[in-house]
Structure 1
Amino acid sequence: MKNFMITLSVLVFCFSSCKKEIKAETENTITADGVKVEEPIAEKPIDSAAEMKAWAEYAAPGNPHKMMADETGTWNCEMTFWMTPNGKPEKAASTAEIKMILGGRYQEANYKGTMMGQPFEGKSTLAYNNASREYTTTFIDNMGTGMMVAMGKYDEKTKSMELKGEVVNPVNGKKTPYREIYTIVDGKTRKMEMFDVKNGEEYKSMEIVMSKK
């Protein structure tokens, strides 16, 4: 059944792509009266076998997905927050249930705990894109209404990935950059560090040490 679904997905993508095989690009030309106009240029036909192979490779989980699957299970999360640079640290704790979804292609983590005296729930997803060769992480929780999205790559030497994104500051409505460093400390320990920007300067705003049960 799993192989059938992969094949079906590939066929759907290929069919969609084939319909766009003669997708128009444009090229500027100048008419006799000096006016620039755009004329369509037909794309070169794509070999169907090569296209099928590319989609199959795009859809198949690989070693990065196996690395994500190694984290399946329950994790205790010790969280530390800093509201301002060099500010007083605040502590919180949660539990994360991590699993792989959609045929081992994505990782999903569900967090539950207490933060600032209030019940806390959050959900994250992690993906490795075979085509772009980079990771994408998303995070939502019951402490807001926005979604955090960051992208980056894994460094085998440091056993960590650096992910960068933007978040909207609810105080002024402006987007500000943030980044995460996610480190594989050992087989049962992970560390996530988040860095925000305040008054034009980056500072460490959160650290989570995760221990697998």
Structure 2
Amino acid sequence: MAKGKFEQSMEDGAHQKIKSLAGNWKGTSKTWFEKDVLADESPSIAEITSILDGRFISYDYQSSLGGKPLTGKMIIGFDIPYQKFTLSWIDTFHMGTQMMQATGEATEKGFSILGSWGNPEYGDQLFGWRIALEIISDDEIIFSAYNIMPGEAETIAIESSYKRI
């Protein structure tokens, strides 16, 4: 009997890749507000769990920024019909009361997903936000985020490096 697309993806595709990240992680988060000026470096912990029978993962993390605690959550999946990684992101610092939706492509070692954010106080133009996952090994990953100001090159905003615990 032929396997369905989801079953095949769970066996050796994108869903297998993200599900393999399930576990507890510990590392460091770095934050930049200006190009090449590191603003903060803090310990970070994360728990990644498989949800809805492996369709998605929940990436829950805790860190701090300037000594103040911050927490966040990403729901990450792979959209089989459109062949895109997807995510929804909320946190207690960067997103405020907004929820970012983003989609993107597989990369050699993970994915690169592009979303946007804005605030009417800054005008009607949205800013880009790219989130990348790099799987270094089964026990080491890096989540990076890049701010993309209109008309400018992207700049690093966050880098969370983790090792499995």
| Same fold per superposition (TM over 0.5) | yes
Instruction: Find out whether 1:198 has 2:146 as its counterpart.
Output: no
The 8 Å contact of residues 93 and 115 in structure 1, kept in 2 or not, is answered as no
Offset, 1:88: 3.5
Larger RCO: Structure 1 or Structure 2 (Cα < 8 Å, ≥ 6 residues apart)?
Answer: 2
Counterpart CA distance in 2 for 1:69 and 1:88 is 32
Q: What do the CA deviations read for 1:76-117 (whole angstroms, capped 9, x no partner)?
A: 131111101122331122211111111111101211232222
Identity %: 24
**Partner residue in 1 for 2:129:** 178
User: Structure 1 residues 113, 185: closer, same or farther in 2, change over 3 A?
Assistant: same
Which of the pair has more CA radius of gyration?
A: 1
The 8 Å contact of residues 58 and 130 in structure 1, kept in 2 or not, is answered as yes
- 2:75 maps to a residue whose letter is T
- 2:69 maps to a residue whose letter is P
- 2:122 maps to a residue whose letter is N
Count, aligned residues = 157
Counterpart CA distance in 2 for 1:88 and 1:212 is 25
**Partner residue in 1 for 2:162:** 210
Counterpart CA distance in 1 for 2:59 and 2:149 is 28
The 8 Å contact of residues 80 and 208 in structure 1, kept in 2 or not, is answered as yes
Offset, 1:170: 6.5
Q: Could you list the runs of 5+ residues in structure 2 that have no partner in the other structure?
A: none
Match of 2:38 among 70, 88, 101: 88
- 1:140 maps to a residue whose letter is I
SS, match of residue 109 in structure 1: strand
Counterpart CA distance in 2 for 1:170 and 1:116 is 26
The structure where strand makes up a greater share of residues is 2
Match of 2:81 among 119, 131, 137: 131
**Partner residue in 2 for 1:147:** 99
> CA RMSD of the aligned region, Å?
2.2
Q: What do the CA deviations read for 1:136-175 (whole angstroms, capped 9, x no partner)?
A: 01210122111122211212xx313111111114751541
- 1:148 maps to a residue whose letter is M
Match of 2:66 among 108, 116, 132: 116
The 8 Å contact of residues 195 and 204 in structure 1, kept in 2 or not, is answered as yes
Q: Could you list the runs of 5+ residues in structure 1 that have no partner in the other structure?
A: 1-52
Counterpart CA distance in 1 for 2:126 and 2:110 is 26
Instruction: Find out whether 1:102 has 2:52 as its counterpart.
Output: yes
Q: What do the CA deviations read for 1:9-38 (whole angstroms, capped 9, x no partner)?
A: xxxxxxxxxxxxxxxxxxxxxxxxxxxxxx
**Partner residue in 1 for 2:28:** 78
User: Structure 1 residues 148, 93: closer, same or farther in 2, change over 3 A?
Assistant: farther
- 2:44 maps to a residue whose letter is S
The 8 Å contact of residues 58 and 131 in structure 1, kept in 2 or not, is answered as no
The structure where helix makes up a greater share of residues is 1
